[in-house]
Each structure stands twice: as C-alpha cells, then as structure tokens.
C-alpha cells in the first residue's frame, strides 16, 4: 500500500491546521518510516497524573499510532525537562515542539488567553466545545497565540470542577475575607475582588502548600484528581460547585514552525489526535468522578458542602465586573469577550429547553 493511501478520512492540504471543522480520525496501517520525526511534549502536570497527565500521554500515543510511527512524541511531565509554568515559553522557543496545559496559566503573556480555558459562571464542557469548534473560538485563540509562534488545539476537558478544598467552613462572604487560595486565571481575580487572595502555584506543590499553611484553600480539578493528590489529608471541607471552572478546556500547544514543517497528512493527524483526546478526557472524568467522590466521603470522611447562595451571588456579581473590566482595558480580550458572551446567550437559551429541562424531568419522582 502506498503511503498516500494509508490515512482513512484525514483532511489534507495546508488549510487542515487552521480549520476548526471536525476531522475524521485517521487510522494508519503502513509500517513506520525509516526515519520518524521525533517531537518532545512538555506538560504542566505531574508525570502520569490521572486524567491530566495520562491525557497528555494518551495524546502522544495517538499521534504515534495514527501516523504509523512516522511522528513520535516523547512526553515530559512538569519538572522533567522544564518547570510546569515554563511550558508556554519552551514550546514558543522550540525547546519542545508540543506542550499540554491550561491557557489560563499564561495570562501574563496574553490576558485574553484565560477565556480559552475557563470562565467563571461561563460555559460547561459541551458549550465550550461548541464555541471553540463552531462559534469562532479556535480562530480567535490561534490569532492570539500566533505572535508567540504557537498553534493551540483543544486537548481535553475536565467538565464541571469542584469549588475547592478549605481548612475552614464557608458560611458567608465574610469567610472569604483574607482567604489565601490557590486559584488561577479569572477565578483568582474574582476571589480577589470579594476580599480573598489568589495564589497560582503548580499542581505538584498544592499538598505541601496546604500542609504548611502557605495557603488556606485550594482548587484543583475534582474528585478523581483530588483523591490522587491526597488533598483530603490537608483539608477537611470540600465545596461545590466549581463556579470558577464550569467546563475547563485543556490545551495542546504546538510550535508553529514545527507544525508547518510536517506534511499535510501529519498536520491533520495532530489535529485529529487532539480532538480525540479532548473527547476522551471528558468521558474519563465523567466516569471516574463519582467513584472517587464516594471514596472521599465514605472512606476518608470528607465533608462535602455546597457554597451558600449568597456566596455564589457575590462571586457571580464580581465575575461580571472582572470580565467587563478586562474587556475594557484589553482590545483583544474585548473581541473574545464579545464572541463568548453572544454565544453564551444563544446556547443558554437552547439549554433551557434541552439540557436543563431534561435534568429537571429526570429528577422527578415516578
């Protein structure tokens, strides 16, 4: 079989990378090339960490399998090649050809990047994917990253996260005053607005920071990841919902020059592998979270608490203020904010008569 025939349904052509329309998953059946292209992937996650780290590893494996070994990717967890929060720069400069992390870590590089990860009281995973793939989100994201020699791809989603782990009860907005919490991105700005103090540290340092009292609270992801980190050993209370991250998109970033050096079919494979990883990670978190939550409550005696309504109202009000101010001071953020907001209005109206209505119906007593 000729090499040009081995990809089933993969898009080809120079426009394959920039296109945000779905690609068919490519399946390689040929033998590996004699001289495969070798890439490095650096991540913001601890090596092989459940869900996030394994998602990055799975992405690398998919690329190798789908390309028939013509493109191989070696994964380096946080600290193995570069520190967690230096992934953006490492891929931008070509130290590594690929990275995996969260766009909100890079607000110091480009403030609008936060919109492409998680927005407080914003999109859930389904809505986020809809905006990115079919609402112009990916095009804006790639325009934002272009000056940094980067091409971003959605590379996973954790779904609705938990509100975080706290070493004291949150009964009112007053309990947030002076609270030192690890919470990145827009959520951190909102917490600061209501009187808390946000701290951005890598996931691998959370346990020690809580244990030593450097921070009073931390959010991470949800039960699946939080159980693996052992956060129940350093905090008694786990609050929900994750108002700050209702559908967190993870990103795969690729060095633009490295990507454009690939033949068109391999560029399409990178895109298709990222799409598959984006879907699979959400499925994994959905399957594992309740199992882990049951373990946290029944085995480790974690106290699961809802945030009081007045706390959520205050956070929502502060969130609207923060988003409006960012849009006012940063022209690119305004463009993203306007796209995000108009799409949210449209998809929210639909979900009122679809998702929300169905959940209400499903919860009725027979």
334 falls within a domain = no
CATH number of the CATH domain containing 201: 3.40.190.10
Tell whether the model's pLDDT for residue 31 goes beyond 70.
no
The verdict on 183 and 324 lying in the same domain is yes
Q: Can you tell me the mean pLDDT for 12-23?
A: 39
pLDDT classification of 6: cutoffs 50, 70, 90: very low
**Percentage of residues of the chain with pLDDT beyond 70:** 91
pLDDT per residue as tens digits for the range 133-191? 999 999 999 999 999 999 999 999 999 999 999 999 999 999 999 999 999 999 999 99
* Mean model confidence pLDDT for the chain: 91
> Which pLDDT does position 35 carry in this prediction?
86
Task: Tell me whether strands 237-240 and 180-182 are parallel, antiparallel or unpaired.
Answer: unpaired
Angle at alpha carbon of residue 132, lines to 51 and 362, rounded to 5°: 65
Q: Token pair for residue 364?
A: 């009725």
pLDDT per residue as tens digits for the range 318-353? 999 999 999 999 999 999 999 999 999 999 999 999
Q: Which domain holds residue 165?
A: 161-244+300-328
Tell whether the model's pLDDT for residue 268 goes beyond 90.
yes
> Which pLDDT does position 34 carry in this prediction?
54
Tell whether the model's pLDDT for residue 20 goes beyond 80.
no
Contacts of 354 (CB under 8 A, 6+ apart): none
Q: Say how far apart CA 6 and CA 70 lie, in whole Å.
A: 12
> Which pLDDT does position 128 carry in this prediction?
98
Q: Is the Cβ–Cβ distance between 314 and 243 less than 8 Å?
A: no
354 falls within a domain = no
Question: DSSP E strands: which ranges in 67-184?
Answer: 71-76, 98-101, 150-157, 164-166, 180-182
Among 161, 159, 163, smallest CA distance to 181 is for 163
Q: Is the Cβ–Cβ distance between 43 and 59 less than 8 Å?
A: no
Q: CA separation (Å) from 218 to 16, 203, 205, 292, 350?
A: 40, 10, 11, 18, 34
pLDDT classification of 3: cutoffs 50, 70, 90: very low
> Which pLDDT does position 203 carry in this prediction?
85
255 falls within a domain = yes
206 falls within a domain = yes
The verdict on 57 and 147 lying in the same domain is yes
Q: Say how far apart CA 106 and CA 141 lie, in whole Å.
A: 13
351 falls within a domain = no
pLDDT per residue as tens digits for the range 85-122? 999 999 999 999 999 999 999 999 999 999 999 999 99
Among 83, 99, 306, 122, smallest CA distance to 200 is for 83
Task: Tell me whether strands 180-182 and 197-199 are parallel, antiparallel or unpaired.
Answer: parallel
Tell whether the model's pLDDT for residue 28 goes beyond 60.
no
221 falls within a domain = yes
> Which pLDDT does position 200 carry in this prediction?
87
The verdict on 316 and 229 lying in the same domain is yes
pLDDT per residue as tens digits for the range 39-73? 999 999 998 889 999 999 999 999 999 999 999 99
345 falls within a domain = no
The verdict on 154 and 34 lying in the same domain is yes
> Which pLDDT does position 186 carry in this prediction?
96
> Which pLDDT does position 22 carry in this prediction?
40
Can you tell me which residue has the tokens 């991250």?
245
> Which pLDDT does position 298 carry in this prediction?
97
């Amino acid at each position: 079989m000729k090499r040009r025939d081995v990809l089933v349904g993969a898009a080809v052509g120079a426009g394959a990378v920039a296109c945000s329309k779905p690609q068919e998953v490519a399946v390689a059946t040929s033998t590996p090339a004699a001289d495969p292209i070798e890439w490095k992937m650096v991540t913001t996650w601890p090596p092989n960490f459940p869900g996030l780290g394994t998602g990055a590893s799975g992405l690398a494996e998919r690329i190798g399998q789908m390309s028939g070994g013509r493109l191989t990717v070696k994964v380096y967890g946080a600290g193995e090649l570069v520190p967690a929060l230096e992934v953006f720069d490492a891929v931008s400069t070509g130290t590594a050809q690929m990275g995996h992390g969260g766009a909100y870590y890079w607000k110091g590089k480009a403030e609008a990047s936060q919109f492409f990860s998680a927005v407080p009281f914003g999109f859930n995973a389904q809505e986020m994917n809809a905006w990115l793939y079919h609402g112009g989100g990916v095009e804006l994201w790639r325009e934002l990253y272009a000056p940094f020699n980067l091409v971003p791809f959605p590379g996973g989603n954790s779904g609705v996260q938990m509100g975080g782990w706290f070493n004291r009860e949150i009964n009112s907005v007053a309990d947030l005053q002076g609270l030192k919490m690890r919470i990145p991105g827009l959520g951190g700005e909102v917490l600061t607005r209501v009187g808390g103090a946000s701290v951005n540290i890598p996931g691998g340092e959370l346990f020690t920071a809580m244990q030593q009292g450097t921070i009073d609270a931390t959010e991470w992801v949800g039960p699946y990841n939080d159980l693996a980190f052992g956060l129940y050993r350093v905090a008694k209370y786990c609050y929900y919902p994750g108002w700050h991250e209702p559908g967190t998109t993870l990103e795969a970033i690729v060095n633009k020059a490295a990507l454009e050096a690939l033949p068109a079919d391999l560029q399409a494979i990178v895109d298709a592998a990222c799409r598959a990883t984006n879907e699979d990670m959400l499925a994994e978190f959905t399957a594992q979270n309740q199992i882990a939550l049951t373990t946290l409550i029944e085995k480790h005696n974690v106290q699961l608490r809802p945030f009081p309504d007045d706390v959520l109202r205050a956070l929502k009000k502060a969130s609207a203020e923060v988003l409006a101010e960012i849009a006012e001071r940063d022209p690119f953020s305004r463009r993203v904010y306007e796209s995000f907001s108009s799409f949210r209005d449209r998809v929210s109206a639909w979900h009122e008569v679809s998702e929300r209505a169905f959940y209400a119906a499903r919860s009725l007593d027979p």
